[in-house]
Chains A and B, each alone.
Chain A
């Protein structure tokens, strides 16, 4: 059985696709999410084989979601859309599988056959990695999208990854590697990233190597290994 995760903001659309997938007898729907932000932890938790992904969704689109995921944790992706002229062209050019809503059972069977033939290649770069401009963070009651420009630094701990802005800390499901590669943040420590635009000073010396002080006065440790890279980025 192919294990699938369905992501669509419309409950009827999720139900309909789940029903159609069940009818094929080849797919087990292991989860369903109402938006892209919910999908990130779900993907990590459920490790599905395939992701059925709606394109137009609130706050974070299907394309943006792909940019927020580590290539390693990304299953195969089938886009599901009602109509999106630009997206359709992108899909066709990049030979990514896609379904049109309402989904025809015969067309869905072809997709399943293709999925059965084995693991697909990596997603084409044009679709897979749009630059990240906003980082979805979980607040006490709501989901916040934090602008990358506002971020001063990022740290990871046992508890997870925390995005630090002048206003405070926010928990995010995104990994350090994704934030480093897609959001343009600089790795200065095994557990820390820093936004070079927000660096105010570097204090050299100390066992660790150095300490960066951000504009709002927070200290970020710099390990010896990453110090040359930081100096280069700052033009020192």
Chain B
């Protein structure tokens, strides 16, 4: 007996007194010792629960996780041998079985076998006449627990978590079998029976309790994880629901404050900001006095997120947010998540916390998720817009192709002119044909001003014939601009508007003017009528002009487009601004 270096503690006063012991006192003693071991296990298990790669729900782990689990559980199992009590003859009342059984229940037969086998092999090194039986028992218990777990998993479709009752029953059965093995394997039988009488009841009871508590702890831990996940996903869903309609209206300084306010409410963060690529669109919460919407992005953290298109997190511990605007700013931690639509960055969502508050990990993951969510909402909105634009554009084109009122009036005019002046009627028919032929053409993206004026010219010839002495047309085009490029079908709808809503409503004669001139780096094309009847369009009206404006902006840039000015009763002027070739760097 190596009492000095004994692997297990010796029962006080039992050394050397042989196997004949009063049963009650060592049994009670052993029971207490095993329960003590259980509390050590609790601490270890708590640590296991903190191990992030180990999520017992999945059962799908990386090889590293498997290895770590094996190492950890084997260590705990071996520890079970040391935390037991060594009885005379090398018998150890122990809690080795608990970790092995748990290994089986969590990871299935292979992990159970590996952990049980490891702890069993180790048990062999500790010696004693029950060493072999103990080793066999622990190995079998791990394997059996694994088989039980596999059975339950199969029945429940894979996602099975050990229940405390199952753990207790398996352990009780396993330890009972352990005792059977001791009696069967260890010799002399009398000693085995005596040993079992001492260690049997405490091991069966204490270890079953330990296994049950382990599983309960694990379930609690999982429930906590679930709750955290549930709150953050509920919040994300609420944000999604509340922002959906808003972002459908577009992404800009009108919608961003509403979205920022919603995120602030739902996350409870210190402050929330939304930016585009250059400007702060909205800032809500702490520091709103000096962080103002409309200002440029100055924080290097935000710039980094935009330039590298990556999530930037300054936790306020290792890295701090330093407010570039005010030294008195309380904000200290920030999460900057980029908003990416169609592969290009359109802005950021930023969550801030002040110096005296911790950046909650829930908000960190929520912030990341929100950026993805808002990005997809923006993508959806952009898609909807494009789809709408396409439909309306095509609709408009169809209308342009067959404007029945114009067509039949033109034909009626031709019929009338034919009586007195067949040559003129013939010319009118050719103009009409030219106009409709140009309308039928699929619009190439860009046309020259010359082509646009030809299209409009055919239309004007017919209107001139229809309105006769009621209409004057003045054209004044800088010939140098004839090769200017602008979206096809730009002028025709605007000229048609000037007639339909302006000149055709006049009781007196009217004048239409079409001018094209340079203005600095741009070219201006003006369409004027002296009816001055323009009214701000309501609802679905004014589609033609809006469409022209949108196409110019899409094709040539946001600084170009259509503008209207009106002096009621005197003048409506529609101005088209497009870039001169090489006019703007």
Contact = CB atoms under 8 A, between A and B. Distances in A.
Given A10-B466, A10-B467, A59-B505, 6 more contacts: A10-B412, A13-B416, A19-B416, A59-B506, A83-B408, A103-B412
A16 B413 CA distance: 8
Given A10-B413, A15-B416, A56 B507 contact: no
A12 B412 contact: yes
23 contacts: A9-B504, A10-B409, A10-B412, A10-B467, A12-B417, A12-B465, A12-B468, A13-B409, A13-B412, A13-B413, A16-B419, A19-B416, A58-B506, A58-B507, A59-B506, A82-B404, A82-B412, A83-B404, A100-B408, A101-B408, A101-B411, A102-B415, A143-B507
Contacts of B442: none
B508 interface: yes
Given A83-B404, A101-B408, A58 B413 contact: no
A11 interface: yes
A13 B468 CA distance: 11
Interface string B397-408: 000000011011
Contact of B411 (A15, A84, A102): A102
A146 B508 CA distance: 17
Contacts of A56: 405, 504
A11 B464 CA distance: 11
Interface string B197-227: 0000000000000000000000000000000
Contact of A58 (B405, B416, B505): B505
B409 A101 contact: yes
Q: Is the interface of A mostly helix, strand, loop or mixed?
A: loop
A37 interface: yes
A172 interface: no
A82 B507 contact: no
A199 to B, nearest CB: 29
A82 B468 contact: no
A16 B416 CA distance: 5
Given A12-B465, A12-B466, A83-B404, A37 B507 contact: yes
A35 B409 contact: no
A35 B504 CA distance: 11
Contacts of A102: 408, 411-412, 415
Interface of B: 404-405, 407-409, 411-413, 415-417, 419, 465-470, 504-508
Interface in A49-67: 56, 58-59
A84 B416 CA distance: 21
A35 B505 CA distance: 10
Interface residues of A, number: 22
Contacts of B407: 82-83
Contact of B409 (A15, A19, A82, A143): A82
A177 B409 CA distance: 36
A143 B507 CA distance: 8
Interface string A15-56: 110010000000000000001010000000000000000001
Given A16-B412, A102-B412, A83 B405 contact: yes
B183 to A, nearest CB: 102
A142 interface: yes
Contacts of B412: 10, 12-13, 16, 82, 101-103
Contact of B416 (A9, A12, A37, A100): A12
A11 B505 contact: no
A84 B507 contact: no
Contacts of A101: 408-409, 411-412
A142 B507 contact: yes
A143 B569 CA distance: 13
A82 B409 CA distance: 6
Contacts of A11: 468-469
A22 B508 CA distance: 29
A88 B3 CA distance: 115
| Most-contacted residue by chain A among B404, B415, B467 (CB, 10 A) | B415
Contacts of B468: 10-12
B407 to A, nearest CB: 8
Contacts of B470: 9
A105 to B, nearest CB: 11
Given A56-B405, A59-B505, A82-B408, A16 B469 contact: no
